[in-house]
């Protein structure tokens, strides 16, 4: 445990800076595309496409930061990045096995905001906010509380405290990097009181969709933490990595963060062996190792992204033949009630 040494006035100043005045990344986030019409105009796509962008779920509308949208090819309605963010009327399609809570997360909630499904590690749902709304998201219907109170974090912290076999805390969400440094710090200050925690893991899409988030303040906070730090980023296609993302990943690497990537296998985005291979190579150039390739969780509204197991296995065969073992992600599926994610081979 590292004692808190910062004098109170210092942390107060910090709180004012991060909680009251918007930071550059917060301003960038606020300026994200929210209206399909505007995005289509920006991408020089015909307005007639709007007819296909009916939103099935008003609480999960378009949200895509400008920087991300600049990586979308202009004039291409089938761009693999666009497909991940543009709500399409296909989201209205239902299927009996596409559910609201496909991985039974709700059944695993130990205390509010804390999932303890697997041995040795817990997943803390820190916020519902994301910089982007991914159309295939399996938590899109998750009944988050609007503002997770510090009181609830305390319950989660007590739970971890009384379970000494928990050695890894995973910050997830939503996107944990949606929280300001001062809130993150309040959380990690509490976690530092728990001696059996050895590793802090982030599951975040922000280094990819909002690389501005990797600020000097953020890196400074990371440096102050006593644990091994793992960041699992979420990148589905090589085109998602431009120079701004590359610079964010380099900084994280320089600050001793172990970088891994998880992707979701998505029809029309990355269900092609060459695309997957290109993604692995590109990640590696930026110090990121492929970790998981997830089969789509069958969540209501995402039927049009589904790739079946037979096709997935065929893709993996090709990927394995063309890549060194360390660049081959594990094809996995989340299954309700299982003791780990299921590797599909
Ligand atoms: C995916 C997941 C984890 C992490 O699993 P790993 O196999 O260690 O990456 C932990 N808890 C929950 C609830 C998860 O869904
Ligand atoms: S960033 Fe992750 S949690 Fe947020 S919408 Fe995308 S897939 Fe879902």
Domain boundaries, the chain: 1-345
- Looking at domain 1-345, its CATH architecture is Alpha-Beta Barrel (3.20)
Find the DSSP H helices in 210-332. Answer: 216-223, 243-254, 273-285, 309-322
CA–CA separation, 231 vs 205, rounded Å? Answer: 10
CB atoms within 10 A of CB 334: 18
CA–CA separation, 263 vs 276, rounded Å? Answer: 10
Ligand approaching nearest to the C-alpha of 291: 1
Q: Check: CB of residue 332 under 8 Å from CB of residue 100.
A: no
Distances (CA, A) of 101 to 121, 269, 301, 332, 342: 21, 23, 12, 18, 18
Residue 305 has what pLDDT?
A: 97
CA–CA separation, 293 vs 234, rounded Å? Answer: 10
Tens-level pLDDT at each residue, the chain (345 residues):
333 233 333 333 333 344 567 889 999 999 999 999 999 999 999 999 888 887 667 778 999 999 999 999 999 999 999 999 999 888 888 888 888 888 777 777 889 899 999 999 999 999 989 999 999 998 777 766 545 567 778 999 999 999 999 999 999 989 999 999 999 999 999 999 999 999 999 999 999 999 999 999 999 999 999 999 999 999 999 999 999 999 999 999 999 999 999 999 999 999 999 999 999 999 999 999 999 999 999 988 899 999 999 999 999 999 999 999 999 999 999 888 889 999 998
CA–CA separation, 326 vs 267, rounded Å? Answer: 24
Give the nearest ligand 2 atom to 174 CA: 3
130 in contact with ligand 2, CB cutoff 6 A? yes
Q: Check: CB of residue 217 under 8 Å from CB of residue 181.
A: yes
Question: Residue 19 has which token pair?
Answer: 């909680």
Exposed/middle/buried for residue 185 (C-beta within 10 Å: 0-12, 13-18, 19+): buried
Q: How far is the CA of 113 from the centre of ligand 1 (A)?
A: 14
CA–CA separation, 221 vs 191, rounded Å? Answer: 14
Residue 99 has what pLDDT?
A: 84
Q: What SS3 class is residue 148?
A: coil
Residue 145 has what pLDDT?
A: 56
Question: Residue 129 has which token pair?
Answer: 């906010």
Q: Check: CB of residue 333 under 8 Å from CB of residue 345.
A: no
Exposed/middle/buried for residue 340 (C-beta within 10 Å: 0-12, 13-18, 19+): exposed
Q: How far is the CA of 123 from the centre of ligand 1 (A)?
A: 7
CA–CA separation, 190 vs 163, rounded Å? Answer: 15
**Residue 160 C-alpha from the chain's centroid:** 23
Give the nearest ligand 1 atom to 291 CA: 9
Q: How far is the CA of 39 from the centre of ligand 2 (A)?
A: 19
Ligand approaching nearest to the C-alpha of 110: 1
Pocket of ligand 1 (CB under 6 A): 115, 117-118, 121, 123, 170, 340-341
Exposed/middle/buried for residue 110 (C-beta within 10 Å: 0-12, 13-18, 19+): middle
Backbone torsions φ then ψ of 282, nearest 5 degrees: -65, -40
CA–CA separation, 301 vs 312, rounded Å? Answer: 21
Q: How far is the CA of 6 from the centre of ligand 2 (A)?
A: 34
Q: How far is the CA of 336 from the centre of ligand 1 (A)?
A: 12
Residue 74 has what pLDDT?
A: 98
Distances (CA, A) of 318 to 45, 72, 191, 277, 345: 34, 27, 43, 9, 13
Residue 143 has what pLDDT?
A: 65
338 CB contacts (<8 Å, ≥6 apart)? none
Which of 125, 160, 170, 292 is the best mutation target for the ligand 1 pocket, counting ligand atoms within 8 Å of the beta carbon and taking the most?
Answer: 170
Give the nearest ligand 2 atom to 209 CA: 1
Residue 260 is classified by DSSP as E
């Amino acid at each position: 445990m590292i004692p808190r040494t910062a004098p109170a006035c210092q942390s107060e100043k910090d709180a004012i800076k991060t909680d009251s005045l918007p930071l550059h990344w917060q301003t960038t986030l606020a300026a994200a595309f929210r209206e399909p019409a505007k995005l289509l105009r920006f991408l020089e796509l015909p307005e007639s496409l709007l007819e296909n962008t009916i939103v099935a779920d008003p609480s999960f509308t378009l949200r895509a930061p400008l920087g991300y949208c600049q990586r979308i090819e202009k004039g291409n309605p089938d761009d693999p990045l666009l497909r991940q963010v543009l709500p399409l009327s296909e989201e209205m399609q239902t299927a009996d096995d596409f559910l609201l809570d496909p991985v039974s997360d709700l059944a695993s909630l130990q205390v509010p905001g804390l999932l303890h499904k697997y041995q040795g590690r817990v997943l803390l749902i820190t916020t519902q906010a994301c910089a982007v709304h991914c159309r295939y998201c399996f938590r899109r219907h998750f009944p988050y509380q609007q503002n997770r109170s510090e009181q609830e974090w305390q319950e989660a912290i007590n739970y971890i405290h009384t379970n000494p076999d928990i050695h890894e805390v995973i910050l997830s969400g939503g996107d944990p990097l949606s929280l300001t440094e001062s809130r993150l710090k309040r959380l990690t200050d509490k976690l530092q009181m728990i001696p059996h925690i050895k590793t802090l893991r982030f599951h975040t899409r922000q280094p990819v969709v909002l690389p501005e988030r990797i600020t000097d303040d953020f890196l400074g906070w990371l440096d102050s933490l006593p644990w091994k730090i793992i960041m699992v980023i979420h990148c589905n296609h090589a085109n998602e990595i431009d120079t701004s993302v590359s610079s964010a990943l380099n900084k994280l690497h320089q600050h001793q963060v172990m970088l891994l990537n998880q992707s979701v296998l998505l029809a029309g985005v990355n269900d092609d062996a060459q695309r997957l291979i290109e993604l692995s190579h590109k990640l590696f150039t930026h110090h990121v190792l492929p970790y998981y390739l997830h089969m789509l969780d069958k969540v209501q509204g995402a039927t049009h992204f589904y790739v079946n197991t037979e096709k997935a296995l065929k893709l993996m065969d090709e990927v394995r033949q063309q890549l060194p073992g360390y660049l081959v992600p594990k094809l996995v599926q989340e299954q309700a009630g299982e003791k780990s994610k299921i590797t599909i081979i």
